[in-house]
Amino acid sequence: MTSETVPATPSQRAFSVVAEELFLQQRRVDPFGHRLHAWLAAVWCFLACSPTSFLELGILPVGICFLIRLPRHIRTDGRLLHLPTIWFALAWIAWIWASLSWSSNASIGIEEAGAARFAFALVLLWPVLDRRTLLIKALLLGFLAANVAQAFHAIGTAFNIESITFPRMPHRNSGWWQPVVGGTMLTAGLGLHLPAMLTGKGRVRVIGFLGVLLCIVGVIATGSRGAWLASASLCVIALVWGLTRRGWPRVSWGHLPLIGALGVVLAVGGYKTLWPTLSERGRAGIVEVRRAITDKDYTSDTGARILMAQMAIDALVQKPLNGIGAGSFKGWGRGHLADLGREKEARLIPDHAHNTFLHVAATTGVVGVVLFGGLIILSVRGGFWTPRASADETDARAKIAGYEAGPVFGLIGLVLASPFIVIQVDAQPSAMLWILIVLCLRGRPAEVSAPS
């Protein structure tokens, strides 16, 4: 990863000039419609962190506004077809639907492939991507609302106020999300804040620090061990990125007493509130892994995940090119275990592998892995790119910093959490995945200086 962009080629510079002219023309001919579209898109980005029903309904006004305004922005939309990320996305989605032709359970496969409906974000958000900062702010507010939901649950649990709690197991506080989904989403939220904390200045840096703190506490509270590992890895990656940047704001010696005092407060508070979750879930995870490896006991959460991973690998080995087809994992896995004389373990296999890339490999083969992996790689690369704002070549080498770099680290956070969840199938992670991909598009327009 690099903190500076790759120099633009002549064709890329020409593309940027044409694209920005089209966005400028769109704003001139339809200023009110563009502003309304941007705010509806921001509302949906906020709702992307909400319960599923709000997420699903929130995209409808954006789609309606998009269709009404289509004559105003159709030329702008045409620039999407010049972006490699779009072609990888289209190819991957087409391959998922094509896999239904060899799937053993097309009904489950349709549900699985249908999760790609959130890829419409590529089209719906593109016309207002010159308001990228507004969309990022909406995401940040959405994650803050999710943290507030966790706080209400904690208060309700502590004081036995059932009306403000959610049905969760002891020591698993994920607010309105399911614990694994909550841990994954908050890892993405952590990624949004980390660059601001590391490279922001003044108020932005303070907000970034507070956001990082809230997301880390939220991730720990979910009890999702996979999210713990993903968040820790993300922090290391972000720190290395920050250290490699020239001019990175450094902490002076005068800040050490304040940092030390804050550390003591957080340590004491964390021991009283978060340590029970950490210790209990950590010990349970070690025991579950040991039982699965030594005793072949897959009845625990971790043991079942190990069994699912084994079935996914076996499916890939048996059908390496095109996989077993979307929706086939449960039926194929249970049948495979029955053939091996392991009928008791067959009931542990669910609809998907609880591991993004293993599930992609098992159901769509090497072709699916190449397409999905290419989509992620292009998106991450695009996330570190910053739009060329003028004809000055130095703009093409401008550093990306602060919340401008948030979406790419949010995307990296989702990828790091992907070994523990199928992010392209579960509704909220899937929507977040596609929103972050849009925000990371290489070739996106420069940010408009005028407020929305």
Task: Give me the number of domains the chain comprises.
Answer: 1
Q: Is residue 61 in a domain?
A: yes
Residue 108 has pLDDT above 50, yes or no: yes
> Which of 444, 449, 439, 440 shows the shortest CA–CA distance to 138?
439
Residue 286 lies in a domain: no
Which residue shows structure tokens 């996330």? 383
Residue 269: is its pLDDT beyond 90? no
Mean pLDDT (whole number) for 186-213: 93
Which residues, including other chains, have CB under 8 Å from residue 295's CB and lie 6 or more apart? none
pLDDT score recorded for residue 296? 75
Q: Specify if 113 maps to a domain.
A: yes
- Bigger pLDDT: 41 or 242? 41
Local structure of residue 23 (DSSP, 8 states) = H
As a whole number of angstroms, the distance between CA 68 and CA 233 comes to 44
Q: Residue 355 in 3-state DSSP?
A: coil
Q: How large is the greatest C-alpha to C-alpha distance in the chain, in angstroms? A: 69
Write out pLDDT tens, residues 321-330.
999 999 999 9
What is the spatial distance between Cα 82 and Cα 436, in angstroms, rounded to a whole number?
19
- Its pTM stands at 0.89
Q: What is the mean pLDDT of residues 429-439?
A: 98
Cα-based distances in Å from 326 to 110, 112, 209, 332: 8, 7, 41, 11
Residue 42 has pLDDT above 80, yes or no: yes
| Sign (positive or negative) of CA dihedral 130, 136, 137, 138 | positive
Q: Would the pLDDT of 219 be above 80? A: yes
Which band of pLDDT confidence, cut at 50, 70 and 90, is reported for residue 300? confident
pLDDT by residue (tens digit) across 369-403?
A: 999 999 999 999 999 988 754 444 444 445 788 99
DSSP for residue 8: P
Query: Is the residue at 1 inside a domain?
Result: no
Q: Are 440 and 380 in contact (CB under 8 A)?
A: yes
By mean pLDDT, which of 125-139, 260-274, 381-395 is the weakest?
A: 260-274
| Structural domain range at position 365 | 11-246+264-280+354-439
Is the pLDDT confidence value at 78 over 70?
A: yes
Residue 396: predicted pLDDT: 42
Would you say residue 291 lies in a domain?
no
Q: Is position 104 within any domain? A: yes
Q: What is the pLDDT of residue 259?
A: 53
List the helix and strand counts (H, then E) for the chain. 19, 0
What is the 3-state secondary structure of 328-341? Answer: CHHHHHHHHHHHCC
Residue 271's pLDDT is what? 52
Under the banding of pLDDT at 50, 70 and 90, the label for residue 38 is very high
Asked whether residue 288 carries a pLDDT value surpassing 90, the answer given is no
Does residue 337 lie within any of the structural domains? no
d(CA 167, CA 57) in angstroms, rounded, equals 23
* Residue 264 pLDDT greater than 60, yes or no: no
Average pLDDT of the residues of the chain: 87
Which residue type is seen at 97? W
How many CB atoms are closer than 10 A to CB 365? 21
Region of poorest pLDDT, from 50-59, 96-105, 289-298, 365-374: 289-298
Amino acid at 26: Q
The confidence score (pLDDT) of residue 389 equals 45
- pLDDT at res. 49: 97
Residue the block writes with tokens 């994992």: 329
Look at residue 298 in the predicted model and tell me its pLDDT. Answer: 77
Give me the pLDDT at residue 16, please. 62
Residue 388, domain member (yes or no) = yes
Please give the residue that has the higher pLDDT: either 199 or 249. 199
